[in-house]
């Protein structure tokens, strides 16, 4: 198994810590320790790492925080604006958009997302499983659910109005795209076909799709 | 090979203690060596459900704090020698028991018994964490109503985070007529949301209550639908492949659907 559980990436605006969300805290801890100890002195004291994770347990986040501070480092928790626009560029700044040139990233989760869970990613999110009532999915890009969506979904959370939400059965409590909110009707019909929510003419609309 | 099972739910009052008592007696009837551990001091304790209240000498806290040996604290069932209860303390500070204690206790009991079944308190606080600590298997009990299913969903997530991956579902207090009329959630919806293996569907049955009042769990009673449902769960726990039973008092629609083969074996 040569899966990288933890990756540290340097960028022009600091270091990013990428963590595989399927790893346990123990594994993560061991990996981070190994990484930090193998390059002593490489990271200046007080370096703040930006956590590039989504599906991380609060307890794991806390664990990483503690671990880093033990080493004299920290986690950068400052809320970030859409630093990298992933699924599209803001329409105003770029009229002839070239999707090929945009880096596409996607977070994939192959499981049920249960009530009380919160999944956040700056990229798009693909979930192969149900999103249950009381769960929240927040993506910088689009959200695709291969299952039933009964939770709260927010696509384009950092302002991308071109983001969409697709589900095999879309029956969420709330749909949000960019800064718009649509609430589900109080009595929810069971939908039998895949649907897509997107912004059209300044409104969130939900339309059936084939797939 | 022995199995340590915790019976849990999230929401209170959905039938954890009733389930624990029935599975305990049911497994004992099938000749298994069973010990039940009550970790919840609620209104209806296991000792009451089993008719053993007047035989309690010591309790879980006494054992954990080393005042007595486990053997001395176990209360033997009146009818079944192979069924024992480790009662909860009614008065002592329950926070005296922590997850590590229960793990040690379960491993000790595992050596002697085929099944160790733990009745868990409602909620996801300390008591829950303690109760699940030593378990191999978790049984989540829920009812066909929105709030109970939501809590069950949260509990399943919580169990997963505690690395308890062997989780089974029992849906209790089903009223077929209400499910039929859409006033209660139907089994398919519950199974779709919770997405764990369902090992029991128990109807709402007045005999559960009357038999509990007598201190004799309903599981032996073949005249009771709930009694048969519990007996089926016991069989499934022991690895038998038993189809879910159809409930009586079906509405016209179920029969119609069944006639056309539209309804799965409920
Ligand atoms: N299948 C059933 N049919 C009818 N009544 C039932 C059934 N299952 C449980 N009950 C009744 O529901 C009530 C609650 O059951 P029980 O005490 O087992 O729940 P619990 O989950 O252990 O509650 P607590 O969270 O307080 O510990 C009891 O009065 C019990 O008799
Ligand atoms: Mg109880």
- What are the tens digits of pLDDT across the range B214-237? 999 999 899 999 999 999 999 999
Of B148, B75, B86, B153, the C-alpha closest to B116 is B86
| CATH number for position B148 | 3.40.50.300
In degrees to the nearest 10, what's the CA dihedral of A36, A40, A42, A45?
80
Confidence of residue A35 (pLDDT cuts 50, 70, 90): confident
Chain B CA closest to residue A149: B193
The pLDDT, as a whole number, for residue B242 is: 95
Q: Which of B170, B94, B162, B167 is nearest to B133 (CA)?
A: B162
If one counts every other C-beta atom within 10 angstroms of the C-beta of residue B146, the result is 11
Residue B50 lies in a domain: yes
What is the reported pLDDT for B44?
Answer: 74
Q: What is the pLDDT of residues B130-165, one digit of tens each?
A: 999 999 999 999 999 999 999 999 999 999 999 999
The alpha carbon of residue A132 is apart from the nearest alpha carbon of chain B, in Å, by 6
Nearest to A133 among B150, B157, B161 (CB): B150
pLDDT of residue B12: 94
The Cα–Cα gap between B1 and B9 comes to 26
Is the pLDDT score of A13 beyond 80?
A: no
pLDDT for A78: 55
CA of A196 to the centre of ligand 2 (A): 44
Q: What is the pLDDT of residues A180-204, one digit of tens each?
A: 999 877 766 777 889 999 999 999 9
DSSP helix/strand/coil, B196: coil
Tell me the average pLDDT of chain A. Answer: 78
> How far apart are the CA of A152 and the centre of ligand 1, in A?
32
- Write the Ramachandran bin of A209: left for phi over 0, alpha for psi from -120 to 50, otherwise beta: beta
Instruction: For residues A146-161, give the mean pLDDT.
Output: 96
Are A57 and B193 in contact (CB < 8 Å)?
no
Nearest CA to ligand 1 atom 26: B13
Tokens in use for B254?
Answer: 């179920």
Higher per-residue pLDDT: A60 or A94: A60
Above 60 in pLDDT, residue B198? yes
Residue B264 lies in a domain: no
- Confidence (pLDDT) at A89: 35
What is the Cα gyration radius of chain A?
19
**Could you count the other beta carbons within 10 Å of the beta carbon of residue B158?**
19
Q: Is B101 within the bounds of a domain?
A: yes
Which residue shows structure tokens 């997107």? Answer: A198
Tell me, what DSSP letter sits at residue A14?
Answer: E
CA angle B109/B10/B126 to nearest 5° reads 60
Which is more confidently placed, B225 or B255?
B225
Q: Residues A72-111: pLDDT tens digits? A: 777 776 544 433 333 333 333 444 444 444 556 799 999 9
CB B118 within 8 A of CB B7: yes
Q: Name the DSSP letter for residue B246.
A: P
Question: Has residue A63 got a pLDDT over 90?
Answer: no
Assign B252 a pLDDT band (cuts: 50, 70, 90): very low
Domain that holds residue B236: 3-259
In a domain? residue B31:
yes
- Report residue B108: phi and psi, to 5°: -65, -50
| Chain B residue with minimum CA distance to A118 | B157
Task: Specify the pLDDT at position A117.
Answer: 95
The confidence score (pLDDT) of residue B105 equals 97
Judged against a pLDDT cut of 60, whether residue B116 lies above it is answered with yes
pLDDT at residue B112, as a whole number: 96
pLDDT at B1: 80
> Measuring CA to CA, which residue among B168, B213, B159, B157 is closest to residue B191?
B168
Interchain CB distance below 8 Å, B154 and A129: no
Token readout for B215 is 């201190």
Say what the pTM is: 0.75
Is the alpha carbon torsion for B107, B121, B145, B147 positive or negative?
negative
What pLDDT score was predicted for residue A9? Answer: 64
Report the residue from B157, B192, B193 with minimal CB separation from A116.
B157
Taking 50 as the threshold, does the pLDDT of residue A175 lie above it?
yes
Of the ranges A33-37, A88-92, A140-144, B242-246, which is most confident?
A140-144
Contact across the interface for A114 and B161, Cβ inside 8 Å = no
Beta strand B3-8 pairing with B115-119: parallel
Domain assignment of residue B265, yes or no: no
Contacts for B50-59 with beta carbons within 8 Å, 24 or more apart? Answer: B50/B21, B50/B24, B50/B25, B50/B77, B50/B85, B50/B215, B50/B217, B51/B78, B51/B214, B51/B215, B51/B216, B52/B77, B52/B78, B52/B85, B52/B87, B52/B215, B53/B215, B56/B87, B59/B86, B59/B87, B59/B88, B59/B89, B59/B90, B59/B92
Return the structure tokens found at A110.
């192959």
The pLDDT value recorded for residue B229 is 97
From the number of C-beta atoms within 10 Å of its C-beta (0-12, 13-18, 19+), residue B154 rates as buried
CB contact under 8 A, A112 and B195: yes
- What is the domain count for chain B? 1
Distance A44 CA to ligand 2 centre (A): 55
Overall average pLDDT of the B233-242 stretch: 97
Per-residue pLDDT averaged across A39-44, rounded? Answer: 63
Does the beta carbon of A129 lie under 8 angstroms from any beta carbon of chain B? yes
Number of H helices and E strands in chain B, helices first, is 12, 8
Is the Cβ–Cβ distance between A72 and A46 less than 8 Å? yes
Q: Find how far residue B260's CA is from the centre of its chain.
A: 35
φ, ψ at B151 (rounded to 5°):
-65, -40
Chain A partners within 8 Å of B193 (Cβ)? 130, 132-133, 148, 150
List the residue whose alpha carbon is closest to atom 8 of ligand 1: B15
Q: What order of strands is seen across the sheet that includes strand B137-142? A: B75-76, B83-86, B34-38, B115-119, B3-8, B137-142, B167-174, B197-203
C-alpha closest to that of B88 among B124, B150, B44:
B44
Residue B154 to residue A133, Cβ atoms within 8 A: no
Across the interface, which of A57, A59, A115 has its CB nearest the CB of B150? A115
C-alpha B82: how far from its chain's center? 18
Residue B225 domain-assigned (yes or no): yes
Which two three-digit tokens encode residue B171? Answer: 């849906």
* CA B122 – ligand 2 centroid, Å: 7
ipTM for this prediction? 0.78
Which has the higher per-residue pLDDT, A106 or B24? B24
Give the tokens for residue B200: 């029991």
Q: Of the residues B44, B155, B202, B230, which should be mutated to test ligand 1's pocket, given the most ligand atoms within 8 Å of the CB? A: B44
Mutate to test the pocket of ligand 1, among B174, B208, B227, B247 (most ligand atoms within 8 A of CB): B208
CA–centroid distance, residue A153 to ligand 2 (Å): 36
B96 is a domain residue:
yes
* Domains of chain A by start residue, with CATH: 6-75 (3.30.750.50), 91-209 (2.160.20.70)
Kindly state whether residue B266 falls inside one of the protein's structural domains: no
Distance CA B92, CA B95 (A): 9
- The DSSP secondary-structure symbol of B220 reads G
How many whole angstroms separate alpha carbon A130 and alpha carbon A110? 9
């Amino acid at each position: 198994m040569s899966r990288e559980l933890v990756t540290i990436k340097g960028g022009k605006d600091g270091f990013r810590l990428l963590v595989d969300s399927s790893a346990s805290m123990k594994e993560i801890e061991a990996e981070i320790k190994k990484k930090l100890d193998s390059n002593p002195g490489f990271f200046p004291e007080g370096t703040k790492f930006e956590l590039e994770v989504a599906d991380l347990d609060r307890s794991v986040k806390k664990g990483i925080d503690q671990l880093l501070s033990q080493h004299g480092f920290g986690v950068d928790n400052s809320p970030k604006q859409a630093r990298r626009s992933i699924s599209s560029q803001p329409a105003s700044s770029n009229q002839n958009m070239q999707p090929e040139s945009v880096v596409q990233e996607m977070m994939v989760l192959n499981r049920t997302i249960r009530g009380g869970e919160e999944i956040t990613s700056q990229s798009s999110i693909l979930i192969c499983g149900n999103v249950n009532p009381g769960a929240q999915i927040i993506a910088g890009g689009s959200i695709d659910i291969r299952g039933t969506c009964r939770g709260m979904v927010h696509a384009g959370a950092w302002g991308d109005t071109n983001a969409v939400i697709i589900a095999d059965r879309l029956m969420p409590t709330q749909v949000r795209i960019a800064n718009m909110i649509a609430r589900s009707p109080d009595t929810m019909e069971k939908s039998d076909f895949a649907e897509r929510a997107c912004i059209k003419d300044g409104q969130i609309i939900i339309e059936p799709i084939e797939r | 090979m022995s199995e340590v099972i915790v019976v849990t739910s999230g929401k209170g009052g959905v039938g954890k203690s009733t389930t624990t008592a029935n599975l305990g007696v049911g497994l004992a009837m099938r000749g298994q060596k069973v010990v039940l551990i009550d970790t919840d001091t609620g209104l209806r304790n296991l000792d009451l459900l089993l008719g053993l209240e007047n035989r309690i000498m010591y309790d879980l806290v006494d054992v954990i704090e080393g005042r007595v040996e486990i053997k001395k604290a176990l209360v033997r069932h009146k009818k079944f020698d192979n069924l024992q209860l480790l009662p909860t303390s009614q008065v002592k500070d329950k926070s005296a028991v922590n997850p590590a204690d229960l793990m040690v206790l379960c491993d000790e009991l595992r050596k002697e018994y085929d099944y160790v079944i733990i009745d868990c308190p409602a909620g996801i606080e300390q008591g829950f964490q303690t109760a699940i600590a030593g378990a191999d298997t978790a049984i989540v009990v829920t009812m066909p109503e929105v709030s109970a299913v939501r809590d069950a969903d949260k509990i399943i997530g919580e169990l997963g985070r505690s690395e308890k991956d062997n989780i089974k579902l029992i849906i209790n207090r089903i009223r077929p007529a209400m499910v039929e009329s859409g006033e209660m959630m139907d089994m398919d919806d519950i199974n779709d949301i919770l997405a764990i293996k369902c090992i029991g569907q128990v109807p709402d049955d007045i005999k559960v209550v009357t038999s509990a009042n007598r201190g004799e769990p309903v599981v032996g009673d073949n005249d009771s639908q709930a009694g048969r449902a519990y007996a089926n769960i016991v069989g499934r726990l022991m690895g038998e492949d038993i189809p879910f039973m159809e409930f009586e008092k079906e509405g016209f629609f179920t029969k119609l659907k069944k006639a056309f083969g539209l309804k799965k074996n409920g």
